[in-house]
Amino acid sequence: MSIPKLEFPPFHLPAEAEALRGEVRAFLKETLPGIQTEDRFASWNTPSPEFSQALGAKGWLGITWPKKYGGAERTFLDRYVVTEELLGNSAPAGSHWVADRQSGPLLLKFGSEQQRQAILPRITRGECYFSIGMSEPDSGSDLASVRTRAEPVSGGFRVNGTKVWTSGAHRNHYCITLVRTSGQHGDRHKGLSQLLVDLKTPGVTIRPIINLAGRHDWNEVTFSDAFIPEDCLIGNEGDGWLQVTSELAFERSGPERFMQNVYVLRELIRVLGRQPAKRASAIVGRLIARLWTLRQMSTAVAGLMQGGQSPAIEASLVKDLGTIYEQDLPEIARTLAESDATTEDDLADFLDIAQYATMMAPSYTIQGGTTQVLRGIVARGLGLR
């Protein structure tokens, strides 16, 4: 039996984290009703600078970071609780999400002192937002094949190339951009670097890419001889691949991988009424059991990470199961509501919600590592490749 044991040691979030949960809930109850958003049901990709600033004022952004950069020096588990409360209460967390989750931690780990001082305090105030500049027209899952080139010139780099699926680039301030700084296209992991790109830089053009639901989240970001100063290089020249993989780990293990459409379940419970039929109750119960299990797995991973481990396989399993659950949810809910909603009006309203969730669902198993990429990681962990 040579395969590693899959263990998700049950983990209790500590008392301080649970105390924080109460504070976050009270804050959301008071704040959310006054916040206008473009989405009927907000989530981690619904932007609201107003909300992010209010959250920053509470000290809950960059919560784990050193105080000298505006952080609160609290634990990763405190951050976990804030994150899941934002999701569980459908808060519009889209403005700060990427900056708080991965860009800030990346700068903290690899950035220069000057970069940290210039950027991190602004993130913690909810004033500075980030996009992810990884994918390109010819580089999706195969990220090492990026072609965007940063040619060293006096005082910096001249950048040419195109990034795509760049969420929020039209409203965010910076984009951490993966570029080739040396070597050839075929060199794969070697010669890649990450640049801190101010999205207002001359030569950077942002064009919308509208998704199938008619939303403008994505952009195409084109670099035409854009000059990026040398102090915007993050970490060492040539370490881009190492840095980008560490960044991806932050993207895969969080509760946003099974809770982005939790509103569907909540609304399903509403339209089925207080006394659904046996069969309907059982289906709802099975959905709740799946969500509960995912949360147990995710907190277990958080516990392992807090304990200093890096459970890459476990995190991939959570994202795989979680996103498939999110994809099943609107479909199961729709068919159940069609047969068991208590009133015609409720049904019409719910079908509208489910239709939107259905349209968004394909993205869940693509963003942040496709199901197939994740299964490749798990297969390697099982010793199959």
Partner 1 sequence: MDRETRDMLLETAGRFFSERSGKEVVNGVEKGVWPADLWKEIEEMGLPLIAVPEAQEGVGGTLADLLALLRVAGEHAVPVPLAETTLANLLVAASGGKPASGPTTLALGGGDLSLQGNRLSGKVMRVPFASVADRFVSVVNAGGKPTLVVVARDETSVEETPSHAGEPYGTVVFDNTPVEFSAASAVSADRALELAALMRTMQMAGAADKVLVTAVEYCKQRAQFGRPISNFQAIQHMLAELASCVAATIASAESASRDADEGGLEDGGSFSIAAAKTQCSDFAHRIAAISHQSMGAMGFTHEHILHHYTRRLWVWRRDFGSEAFWGEKIGQAFAKAGRDAMWPALTESRYAA
Residue 193 and residue 239: Cα distance in Å, rounded?
6
Q: C-beta of 309: minimal distance to partner 1 in Å?
A: 16
Cα separation values, 78 from 11, 22, 129, 294, Å: 14, 12, 21, 19
Residue whose CB is less far from partner 1, 108 or 357: 357
Q: Does 26 bind partner 1 (CB under 8 A)?
A: no
- Per-residue string for binding with partner 1, 285-304, x by CB under 8 A? xx-xxxxxxxxxx--x----
Region of 3-11, 147-155, 166-174, 302-310 interacting with partner 1 (CB under 8 A): 3-11
Q: Does 382 bind partner 1 (CB under 8 A)?
A: yes
Options 272, 302, 354, 360; binder of partner 1; rule CB under 8 A: 272
Region of 183-191, 200-208, 216-224, 376-384 interacting with partner 1 (CB under 8 A): 376-384
Q: Does 342 bind partner 1 (CB under 8 A)?
A: no
Tokens standing for residue 71: 């952080």
Q: Does 311 bind partner 1 (CB under 8 A)?
A: no
Q: C-beta of 382: minimal distance to partner 1 in Å?
A: 5
Query: What are 218's strand-pairing partners?
Result: 209
- Contact between 145 and 203 (Cβ < 8 Å): no
Q: Does 8 bind partner 1 (CB under 8 A)?
A: yes
Residue 10's SS3 state is coil
| Helices and strands (H, E) in the chain, number of each type | 12, 8
Region of 52-60, 83-91, 113-121, 183-191 interacting with partner 1 (CB under 8 A): 83-91
Count the helix, strand and coil residues of the chain and give each as a percent rounded to the nearest 5.
50, 15, 35
Considering just the CA atoms, what is the radius of gyration of the chain in Å?
21
**Could you say which DSSP state residue 5 is in?**
P
Q: Does 88 bind partner 1 (CB under 8 A)?
A: yes
Residue 221 and residue 204: Cα distance in Å, rounded?
7
Tokens standing for residue 247: 């960044």
Residue 198's SS3 state is strand
Residue whose CB is less far from partner 1, 201 or 370: 370
Q: Does 19 bind partner 1 (CB under 8 A)?
A: no
* Contact positions vs partner 1 (CB under 8 A): 1-3, 5-10, 21, 25, 84, 88-89, 262, 265-267, 269-270, 272-276, 278, 280-286, 288-297, 300, 314, 317, 320-321, 372, 374-376, 378-379, 382-385
